[in-house]
Structure 1
């Protein structure tokens, strides 16, 4: 395995600075943000991916010796209005990944909140069939993160239909792979290791994020969280500052034969706000995981 991180947390830095700092800290890979160029999180100009951009990005990874584990574009592929635009950008991410020798593109299944779950699954099969074929033709796997994305549904229900092992098994029938993130399982009451073990062979990428349970909050709002704007009963932290048992998670990945990248997804509100604080959060994550993620 290799240890890396998702670059979106350092949106204010260019890719060269992010990669050079990552290599200096002992990281071995980057999962690079590939949103449209107008989005501040973008570190690869996928929508303007010409020969110059190819050489720019390739040069960064050649000089630093880092691996490019995935191009990340996590948006709603089933959105009733914006879905086709999202689908088209996923295609561009696939083409850029293939040109760069990157094995995966990460996105969400998403959800159309105006449809039932059953109808959403039918829609997803129609949407992702061509996307998976396009990716397969380019030698790239599309990986889906198991994030719940409650904010995408007006009533706070799951907005990304990929949050449970039951849905993972459905995704695999479409040719999609899993970008496994244990933090979301903790927030759903699912044992991350029990969920992981049967599915290691269908995991093509791993994100490392932790979950802190906030004392007393769930007693007021219940499992589904607040209906008002108040804070929920958990928050995401960098690995080592929450409930995930990283020794068991990484051991299960090793035992199952996973040899890919473990990519820190930094969404920790304590270690955010400035570049210096984000970098310190990434250092904390590195200290937690480095002795577990062995090449």
Structure 2
């Protein structure tokens, strides 16, 4: 099992220094962002696609640091109806799959995407409770007219490049839980698309990530290590919460494509992303890793740090400690 870090949290420093941080934490792998919502700060993707020397130099850096390159990440919304967002993210995904093939990588992490609710829409439409026939009409359009054709194309491209595309089951996407992941695979006939298991988004939706791992079985290609704490406020607000604040242009904010930006999190939140161990103890993470190992003993599990109460290194240190302690409790093969 490879234990590493998704290096987006370390975009404040060059890649060699980010790899030094990973090594200092006793971890051995790195997942690198290649586009989508975030720029490819740690990946000269254009150079790698056209230059064997650039590829060799890039891989040599990982060899020098004793860190394994374990996946490329291109999370975004490739089905977004806004032409300044969806097609850009879709092209980033295609380019990342090709780059993964060049680099000898077999795992590309992304999201399924979310279209608009009808032809000509300008914003995505996430149907979370299709109790009315109109919502089923929306889902029929999103799946049959948009998602299935796109993902058939991506599956074929992945096959051509020796890549498995691992889809993060993320809210505000068509694929947001294990059944919708299976639905995408079945309806596309895809042999090269499956799941990235990030338990954090399953936690707050009320799912059991260990049960989800076993449900998905061989459709699970890759994993993240990110925790969630459900707060007392959830008793009043529930976990579906729209009390976010729009950030202004004078505030630090993350562009998500076009004219879309990430919003400020509610101050009295129903739930929060937290460092490993702050939401679920080491025994859970040991069970989680054991379930992953039953499917693929060599699977990559990369820490994703989004605990805003902790600094970059502080949060990674906390998560790495829990993850390594969890590994120690696993039975020896």
Instruction: State TM-score, norm by structure 2.
Output: 0.78
Query: Root-mean-square deviation (CA), in Å?
Result: 2.1
- 1:225 to 2:241 alignment: yes
Work out which of the residue numbers 256, 259, 269 in structure 1 matches 2:308. Answer: 269
Name the residue aligned to 1:136. Answer: 159
- CA–CA distance in structure 1, aligned partners of residues 75 and 35 of structure 2: 8
Q: CA deviation at 1:199?
A: 1.3
Question: Structure 1: any 5+ residue segments left out of the alignment?
Answer: 149-158, 272-276
Work out which of the residue numbers 134, 141, 144 in structure 2 matches 1:119. Answer: 141
- CA–CA distance in structure 2, aligned partners of residues 141 and 129 of structure 1: 13
Name the residue aligned to 1:205. Answer: 222
1:66-96 CA distance string (max 9 Å, x none): 2111111100011012222221111111111
1:176-225 CA distance string (max 9 Å, x none): 1111011111100111112221213111110010001122x123323321
Q: CA deviation at 1:41?
A: 5.5
Equivalent residue runs for 1:93-242 within 5 Å = 93-115=96-118, 116-122=138-144, 123-148=146-171, 159-173=172-186, 174=188, 175=190, 176-215=193-232, 217-227=233-243, 229=245, 230-231=266-267, 232-242=269-279
1:91 to 1:239, Cα distance in 2 relative to 1, 3 A: same
Q: Does the CA-based 8 Å contact 1:165-1:195 persist in structure 2? A: yes
Q: Does the CA-based 8 Å contact 1:2-1:293 persist in structure 2? A: no
- CA–CA distance in structure 1, aligned partners of residues 33 and 111 of structure 2: 14
Question: Structure 2: any 5+ residue segments left out of the alignment?
Answer: 119-137, 246-265
Count of residues in Structure 1 that have an aligned counterpart in Structure 2? 278
Name the residue aligned to 2:252. Answer: none
Q: Does the CA-based 8 Å contact 1:239-1:288 persist in structure 2? A: yes
Name the residue aligned to 1:154. Answer: none
Greater Cα offset, 260-269 or 42-51: 42-51
- 1:285 to 2:319 alignment: yes
- Deviating beyond 4 angstroms after TM superposition, the runs of 4 or more aligned structure 1 residues are 38-41
Instruction: State TM-score, norm by structure 1.
Output: 0.87
1:9 to 1:133, Cα distance in 2 relative to 1, 3 A: same
- CA–CA distance in structure 1, aligned partners of residues 110 and 207 of structure 2: 22
Greater Cα offset, 54-63 or 132-141: 54-63
Question: What SS does the aligned partner of 2:59 have?
Answer: helix
- CA–CA distance in structure 1, aligned partners of residues 244 and 317 of structure 2: 35
Greater Cα offset, 4-13 or 241-250: 241-250
Q: Does the CA-based 8 Å contact 2:197-2:220 persist in structure 1? A: yes
Q: CA deviation at 1:293?
A: 3.5
Q: CA deviation at 1:161?
A: 1.6
Question: What SS does the aligned partner of 2:229 have?
Answer: strand
Work out which of the residue numbers 270, 280, 299 in structure 2 matches 1:243. Answer: 280
Q: CA deviation at 1:258?
A: 4.0
1:283 to 1:164, Cα distance in 2 relative to 1, 3 A: same
